[in-house]
Structure 1
Amino acid sequence: MFCFQCEQTAMCSGCTGHAGVCGKTADTAKLQDELTGALIGLARSVDGNANRPTASTDEAMLAGLFTTITNVNFNNQTVQDMIDRILAEKRKLVPDCTTCGSPCSRNDDYDMNKVWNADADIRSLKSLILFGLRGMSAYAYHAMVLGYSDREVNDFFYRALFAVGYDYEMKDLLPLVLETGEANLKCMALLDKANTETYGTPVPTTVPLTVEKGPFIVITGHDLHDLKLLLEQTKGKGIHIYTHGEMLPAHAYPELKKYPHLKGNFGTAWQNQQKEFANIPAPILFTTNCLMPPKASYQDRVFTTEVVSFPNVQHIGEDKDFTPVIEKALELGGYKEDQPFTGINGGHEVTTGFGHGTVLSVADKVVAAVKAGQISHFFLVGGCDGAKPGRNYYTDFVKQTPKDSIILTLACGKYRFNDLDLGTVAGLPRIMDMGQCNDAYSAIQVAVALAQAFGCGVNELPLSFVLSWYEQKAVCILLTLLHLGIKNILLGPSLPAFISPNVLNYLVEHYKIAPISTPEADLKKLLAK
């Protein structure tokens, strides 16, 4: 196998051999490459075809890309089923292709080894595009589930997939890398609209970390639609619902807050799940990434849905009947007494809900505080968390930020510090959780609004980006920031293995992107600008 799409990739170069660091086997990796090749074949069948993609084509394409994101699917059978689904969609677009007497090969599936063995710079740029598409597909998929789609965004998926399988040169691929970031901005805006129009505008909400006595279910991932369905199906059954990981921001949405049995948040970031799930007397529902291979001690309590799949784990299908999860919760019974838990820094509660709707509603107060010298700096510290040593950097960084600064955060990287009590500045909390990884859109909206208020560019604001990355959603967000021309981003804990030296030099030269060093040195550099 060969895979280097995530931050924990072996030796910072690529996972080879029988299994990846994430637990994905070589067989699964091979099938995911075949799935990607089939998706490129689907994109080829769309190119120049009078038969346009249907809603069924789009859904299959997004689900197929979503399936290849790190820590989503470890099940060979369901990956093969997805390949078959993609091939069936291609046959609808080019129904006579298999019987053609003069095969042109233009609709053939693609051999991903051609990318992995390509020139280092070509491989690097195609990887940036492909991994960006994978991350973006999750956002487009969540929006689609809520009934929202964008023809322009979906068409870009096909065009960019086609490019991954085409013999383009660097000069052709570089603009497409930035265009992927532009498409992701539209995609995040679409999901923001879908979420807020469906569930309301998030409001600041304090979420307890204590699990109350009695039956409960832990739901993890990102899919708010699945949470809403679970809340509906558990009404009046005496079962409490606790979010985990990236599902935490759900507590801030008015249409989800109204369910009294949505009680609090359990656990921390995704990479701690094997330890945190080991002994809880409750089932866990996985709605998206990040799934780690469940240990035998709790495998019978894990349920998956949507594109998430793992061998020998019960899957909830398209009917979304969560009865097996509910029955397991009642069977296990939960804790006999309330169980107080804490965040990694000992805090007993966390706060979320500072999306752009909330922050921009007090924009005049923020601007006045900056002009009055009450707020000295803004730091966006967030992104994907992970298990690799060195991620304590983000906790230490936040602890050392000036007392008159504000930390904007999002995604699961916030679990490194979101239970810290850093107090307030100018009447505002110093830590503002803006939501899930896709809520980078909120951070962008706030940055643009502040720049307009001060009559300057975003790069001239007292605003610094200190990002952590793990998987492909972080890649598409980074590409969006680059598309917007944002410079001086600090990225860690290590740089992506798929970035070649020449491509890295390009990013450094044009965007001043740099790896993190130490909190002390980085703070000194950022505050000096």
Structure 2
Amino acid sequence: MFCYQCEQTANGGCTKIGVCGKQPDVSTLQDQLVFALKGIAFWANLAREKGAKDQEIDRFMLDGLFTTVTNVDFDAEEIAKLVRKAATLLDKARTLYTTAAGAPYTGSIPEAALPFTAGSTAELIALGEKHGVKDETIDPDVKSVQEILIYGMKGYAAYAHHALVIGLENDEIYAYTHKFLAATLDKSLGLMDFVGLAMECGRINLVTMELLNKANTDSYGHPVPTPVQLGTKAGKAILVSGHDLRMLEELLKQTEGTGVNVYTHGEMLPAHGYPGLKKYSHLVGNFGGAWQDQAKEFTSFPGAIIFNTNCIQRPAESYKDRLFTWGLVQWPDVKNIAGWDFSTVIKKAQELPGFKENLGQEILTGFGHNAVLGVADKVIAAVKAGQIRHFFLVGGCDGAKSGRNYYTEFAEKAPKDTVILTLACGKYRFNKLDFGDIGGIPRLLDIGQCNDAYSAIQIAVALAGAFECDVNDLPLSMILSWYEQKAVAILLTLLHLGIKNIKLGPTLPAFITPNVLNFLVENFNIGPITTAEEDLKQILG
């Protein structure tokens, strides 16, 4: 195996076992799945040029890409099933093109677009070993940008999947997914072609985040500032980890009146800000912090636990028997809930002791763009009066690798006349701290999940309009942490929008070559974090 798609990759690439816990057979099957998706995209892209498309093919692309995101699917047999389905859809996509064109394709057909035999899991692993990430026949810089493009696609596929679960989809997302993946098979394309495609990928991620924002807010209302209990409430309990709001809603409906309380974990924390979800009185609080602490935190949770998206880790034996996954999330020997019936999870929660007492502190969440822009006049007045000197967006993925204490230090050392916007699970580094307020405006504003980078962008654009300047001229700095592929998609969106001076950490991606890094520095002044003191001094002067 060779995998370097996440920030915690070992020594430039995991080669024996993934730092995430991914086994070589899983990694190799995921490589084969991505290879097959490229082949499907080759034919689907050609078919679309002839006016033909297929919903099953389009939606499968999202499932396939999302499955290969870090910390989603660790079950080799389940991934093998997807590879077998990919083989079937590869034939279907080729037929779709042939029918639309009225004749067989006469051009050169890349290997990925040729039919393959979807045999046993062992045979699929053998195929996957030929189609890994490493490809020394491609120029390293071209390969680097191709990987950035593919990881950006994986990121927006996750967001598009969340929107589809609620009921919204966008054909433009499907069309560009086929276009992007097919492009990776085109040997005539050079470095700048792929740079252009990567920037376009950033645009499509913005389209996708906007779609997901609409799906969430149309269904549950715009988030409003809401205090969230971080402790416990006496009673039976279910803990929900992930990102998917529709799954949480269905669980809340089914647990209503059962005496079972529901807690959020990780990226589910912002769910408490949505009126359509916070109305459930048994959505009682948030338990635990970021994803990488789950093994030690879940041991002390006396109820059932369910993951509805990434980031799942190898479960400890102390809670494995009360752990469930839902949808695409899979772990060997862990019960997966494939549909919308959560009775098994509820039954398990009722069998377990639950919490005995009420404990804990409160924090605020729910500062989406609608809420922040609702008090924009106060914010603008505070800036003009000199009460707010600068805004920092300090957020992104969290992780276990050393160096992430930087973000805590940065938030703590940010001057009292600055405001910190935060999103994604990186906020768990400092969201329990008391930052006070500026004229009634909290100094720490939790915007939401990683996909709520859309809200951060809307806030920045609105402020730029109010001050009649470019976003890059605002007193706003982005201090971002990354871990997996959704962060890559968001970064591409920021670059697509022309946003500069981003500081990224705790380490730069292993898949970015020195030449590609130089391009990002020269064109966007993107750079690695240093120390909190030095970066604050450089930003504020």
What is the TM-score normalised by the length of structure 2?
A: 0.93
Aligned position for 2:149: 129
8 Å contact kept, 1:115–1:126: no
Aligned partners of 1:408 and 1:41: how far apart in 2? 41
Amino acid at match of 1:85: K
Using the TM superposition, name which of 108-117 and 476-485 deviates more. Answer: 108-117
Instruction: Tell me if 1:93 matches 2:93.
Output: yes
Structure 1: give runs of 5+ residues left out of the alignment. 342-347
Aligned partners of 2:44 and 2:377: how far apart in 1? 48
8 Å contact kept, 1:181–1:483: yes
Aligned partners of 1:155 and 1:265: how far apart in 2? 38
Residue in structure 2 matching 1:142, options 162, 166, 169: 162
Displacement of 1:494 in angstroms is 0.3
Aligned position for 1:15: 14
Aligned position for 1:152: 172
Using the TM superposition, name which of 111-120 and 282-291 deviates more. Answer: 111-120
Residue in structure 2 matching 1:24, options 11, 22, 25: 22
Displacement of 1:81 in angstroms is 1.1
Instruction: Tell me if 1:527 matches 2:540.
Output: yes
Displacement of 1:248 in angstroms is 0.3
Aligned partners of 1:520 and 1:102: how far apart in 2? 61
Displacement of 1:365 in angstroms is 1.3
Aligned partners of 1:329 and 1:263: how far apart in 2? 15
Instruction: Tell me if 1:438 matches 2:451.
Output: yes
Look up the SS of the partner of 2:504 in the other structure. Answer: strand
Instruction: Tell me if 1:242 matches 2:263.
Output: yes
Displacement of 1:335 in angstroms is 2.0
Displacement of 1:371 in angstroms is 0.6
Aligned partners of 1:143 and 1:388: how far apart in 2? 31
Aligned position for 1:108: 114
Aligned partners of 1:322 and 1:188: how far apart in 2? 28
1:50-104 residue CA offsets vs partner (Å, 9 max, x unmatched): 473322222211011000000000000111111122222232232498xx89996
1:312-341 residue CA offsets vs partner (Å, 9 max, x unmatched): 0000013x1111100110000202233x35
Aligned partners of 2:135 and 2:242: how far apart in 1? 30
Residue in structure 1 matching 2:207, options 166, 175, 186: 186
Residue in structure 1 matching 2:391, options 378, 383, 391: 378
Aligned partners of 1:69 and 1:430: how far apart in 2? 33
Amino acid at match of 2:147: S
1:269-323 residue CA offsets vs partner (Å, 9 max, x unmatched): 00000010113211111000000011111111110011100100000013x1111
Instruction: Tell me if 1:84 matches 2:90.
Output: no
Using the TM superposition, name which of 425-434 and 78-87 deviates more. Answer: 78-87
Aligned partners of 2:306 and 2:80: how far apart in 1? 23
Aligned partners of 2:53 and 2:369: how far apart in 1? 34
Look up the SS of the partner of 2:501 in the other structure. Answer: coil
Report the number of matched residues.
517
CA RMSD of aligned residues (A): 1.7
Aligned partners of 2:297 and 2:114: how far apart in 1? 45
Aligned partners of 2:95 and 2:32: how far apart in 1? 21
8 Å contact kept, 2:3–2:133: no
Instruction: Tell me if 1:321 matches 2:321.
Output: no
Instruction: Tell me if 1:460 matches 2:510.
Output: no
8 Å contact kept, 1:375–1:426: no
Aligned position for 1:368: 381
Task: Please give the residue correspondences for 1:168-207 in structure 2 after superposition, counting only pairs within 5 Å.
Answer: 168-207=189-228
Aligned position for 1:165: 185
Task: Please give the residue correspondences for 1:409-448 in structure 2 after superposition, counting only pairs within 5 Å.
Answer: 409-448=422-461
Displacement of 1:490 in angstroms is 0.5
Amino acid at match of 1:71: N
Look up the SS of the partner of 1:350 in the other structure. Answer: strand
Residues 273 and 51 of structure 1, relative CA distance in 2, 3 Å threshold: same
Instruction: Tell me if 1:516 matches 2:529.
Output: yes
1:208-235 residue CA offsets vs partner (Å, 9 max, x unmatched): 1111111100000000010000001101
Look up the SS of the partner of 1:304 in the other structure. Answer: strand
8 Å contact kept, 2:28–2:132: no
Look up the SS of the partner of 1:298 in the other structure. Answer: helix
Look up the SS of the partner of 1:297 in the other structure. Answer: helix
Instruction: Tell me if 1:331 matches 2:331.
Output: no
1:241-279 residue CA offsets vs partner (Å, 9 max, x unmatched): 000000000000000011000000000000000010113
Amino acid at match of 1:500: T
Aligned partners of 2:528 and 2:231: how far apart in 1? 37
Using the TM superposition, name which of 112-121 and 179-188 deviates more. Answer: 112-121
8 Å contact kept, 1:380–1:407: yes
Using the TM superposition, name which of 44-53 and 414-423 deviates more. Answer: 44-53
Structure 2: give runs of 5+ residues left out of the alignment. 99-103, 116-127
Task: Please give the residue correspondences for 1:25-104 in structure 2 after superposition, counting only pairs within 5 Å.
Answer: 25-49=23-47, 50=50, 52-95=52-95
Amino acid at match of 2:27: A
Percent identical residues: 54
8 Å contact kept, 2:288–2:297: yes
Residues 403 and 103 of structure 1, relative CA distance in 2, 3 Å threshold: closer
Aligned position for 2:405: 392
Instruction: Tell me if 1:479 matches 2:492.
Output: yes
Aligned partners of 2:192 and 2:350: how far apart in 1? 59
Aligned partners of 2:230 and 2:312: how far apart in 1? 21
Amino acid at match of 2:301: I
Residue in structure 2 matching 1:263, options 260, 284, 307: 284
What is the TM-score normalised by the length of structure 1?
A: 0.95
Residues 460 and 333 of structure 1, relative CA distance in 2, 3 Å threshold: same
Displacement of 1:114 in angstroms is 6.9
1:104-132 residue CA offsets vs partner (Å, 9 max, x unmatched): 64532796447543322011100000000
Residue in structure 1 matching 2:299, options 264, 268, 278: 278
Aligned position for 2:462: 449
Residues 95 and 48 of structure 1, relative CA distance in 2, 3 Å threshold: closer
Look up the SS of the partner of 2:63 in the other structure. Answer: helix
Aligned partners of 2:105 and 2:174: how far apart in 1? 32
Aligned partners of 1:266 and 1:165: how far apart in 2? 45
8 Å contact kept, 2:231–2:287: yes
Look up the SS of the partner of 2:46 in the other structure. Answer: coil
Aligned position for 1:291: 312
Displacement of 1:135 in angstroms is 0.5
Residues 431 and 291 of structure 1, relative CA distance in 2, 3 Å threshold: same
Instruction: Tell me if 1:210 matches 2:223.
Output: no
Displacement of 1:164 in angstroms is 1.9
Instruction: Tell me if 1:493 matches 2:506.
Output: yes
Amino acid at match of 2:72: V
Amino acid at match of 2:291: W
Amino acid at match of 1:16: T
Aligned partners of 1:379 and 1:121: how far apart in 2? 32
